């Protein structure tokens, strides 16, 4: 019931807008967030849930464990490569290397979105990356049904 108060819709997509104060999310343990995701999937009938777990850093393992597929947007530069290497090394060190089997790395198309004046959710839906995500999600569903 409380969740319905924060869920918004654009077309047939429901979303929860970013937290007004992201530091508040830092106080929610990853295990609790993983449980919320399980409940959303089980109780709300969502076939696909897209998450941004970047703020959880090394604490994201419990959240990623409830995911069937983890899409990792990547850039092809030295800093991004170092971050990917660190993530993979961390998964190995902590015994979560199985999680890496779920990871699919994606080079996202540049859309210009991200500049403050273009940061409208409706812009994302029609942008080239929005089209790409929809194609990916349809493909993922087909993979799961086979």
Average pLDDT over the chain, rounded to whole? 77
Q: How far is CA 41 from CA 34, 64, 67, 139, in A?
A: 11, 14, 10, 19
144 pLDDT band (50/70/90 cuts)? Answer: very low
142 pLDDT band (50/70/90 cuts)? Answer: very low
Residue 18 has pLDDT above 50, yes or no: yes
b/e string for 13-48 if b means 16 or more Cβ within 10 A? Answer: eeeeeeeeeeeeeeeeebeebbeebeebbeeeeeee
């Amino acid at each position: 019931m409380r969740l319905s108060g924060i869920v918004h819709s654009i077309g047939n997509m429901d979303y929860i807008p970013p937290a007004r104060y992201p530091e508040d999310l830092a106080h929610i343990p990853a295990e609790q967030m993983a449980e919320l995701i399980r409940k959303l999937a089980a109780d709300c009938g969502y076939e696909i849930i897209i998450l941004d777990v970047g703020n959880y850093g090394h604490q994201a393992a419990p959240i990623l464990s409830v995911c069937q597929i983890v899409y990792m947007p990547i850039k092809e530069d030295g800093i991004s490569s170092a971050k990917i290497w660190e993530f993979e090394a961390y998964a190995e060190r902590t015994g979560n290397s199985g999680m890496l089997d779920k990871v699919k790395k994606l080079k996202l198309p540049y859309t210009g979105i991200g500049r403050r004046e273009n940061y409208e959710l409706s812009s994302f839906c029609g942008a080239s990356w929005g089209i790409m995500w929809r194609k990916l999600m349809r493909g993922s569903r087909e993979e799961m049904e086979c």
